[in-house]
């Protein structure tokens, strides 16, 4: 039987920096930047994505910050550290303190930053903070079964596929999605993925 030490989120938002990125606490002032990032590729047209449609950015931010205020999430806006341009967003969510478990998700990037260093670098920063600072025991991901790109990106991080939850939630178009669930344990992070992922992001950051 496994026992863990419960954790708690910080009492104030945190900022994570490194490898060409800044993950800063989301705030209403980020609305124009998030709108511009979403326009890069018209990302709201992807029915299985969580990207806000035009003129819905303010409500998107309001809802995210409401969940954060309730202790249900920790929400970040992602910037390119060099240009200071907002390129997307991500968050911790579905937090279960008593099990020291949380999810990483609601992640999206402007099209021009997809398939670049950004996702791996951001995930490294999030995993490092979750395991090293928050003392998480398990970090998990949940993605639409139709989103094969997301599944491959999660698998490249080293997360293990736990299974499929059928009829998990509604998509924005009203259809019901099945979700693919992945996870990484603290032991897997410490013994394997921490060093491996750091090496990858350091290599890309110096190119």
CATH value at residue 151: 3.40.630.30
Q: Can you tell me the distance from the alpha carbon of 78 to that of 201, in angstroms, rounded to the nearest whole number?
A: 16
The length of the chain, given as a count of residues = 207
Spell out where 38-114 has E strands: 73-80, 86-96, 101-109
The conformational region for residue 167 under phi > 0 = left, psi -120 to 50 = alpha, else beta, is: left
205 secondary structure, DSSP code = H
* Model confidence pLDDT, tens digit, residues 2-46: 677 777 766 567 999 999 999 999 999 999 999 999 999 999 998
Q: Note whether residue 10 is domain-resident.
A: no
Q: Note whether residue 1 is domain-resident.
A: no
Domain count, the chain: 1
Q: Note whether residue 6 is domain-resident.
A: no
Q: Record the pTM.
A: 0.93
Kindly tell me if the per-residue pLDDT of 70 is higher than 50: yes
Q: Note whether residue 154 is domain-resident.
A: yes
* Model confidence pLDDT, tens digit, residues 118-169: 999 999 999 999 999 999 999 999 999 999 999 999 999 999 999 999 999 9
Q: Can you tell me the distance from the alpha carbon of 45 to that of 105, in angstroms, rounded to the nearest whole number?
A: 19
Q: Note whether residue 3 is domain-resident.
A: no
Q: Structural domain of residue 88, as residue ranges?
A: 16-205
Q: Note whether residue 66 is domain-resident.
A: yes
């Amino acid at each position: 039987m496994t026992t863990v030490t419960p954790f708690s989120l910080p009492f104030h938002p945190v900022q994570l920096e490194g490898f060409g990125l800044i993950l800063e606490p989301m705030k209403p002032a980020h609305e124009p930047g998030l709108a511009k990032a979403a326009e890069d590729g018209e990302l709201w047209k992807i029915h299985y994505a969580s990207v806000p449609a035009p003129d819905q950015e303010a409500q998107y931010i309001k809802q995210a910050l409401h969940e954060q205020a309730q202790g249900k999430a920790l929400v970040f806006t992602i910037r390119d550290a060099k240009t200071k341009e907002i390129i997307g967003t991500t968050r911790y969510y579905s937090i279960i303190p008593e099990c020291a478990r949380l999810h990483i998700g609601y992640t999206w990037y402007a099209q021009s930053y997809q398939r670049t260093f950004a996702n791996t670098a951001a995930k490294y920063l999030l995993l490092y903070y979750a395991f090293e600072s928050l003392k998480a025991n398990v970090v998990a991901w949940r993605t639409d079964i139709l989103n094969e790109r997301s599944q491959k990106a999660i698998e490249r991080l080293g997360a293990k596929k736990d299974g499929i939850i059928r009829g998990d939630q509604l998509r924005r178009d009203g259809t019901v999605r099945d979700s693919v669930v992945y996870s990484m344990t603290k032991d897997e992070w410490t013994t394997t993925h921490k060093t491996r992922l750091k090496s990858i992001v350091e290599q890309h950051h110096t190119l």
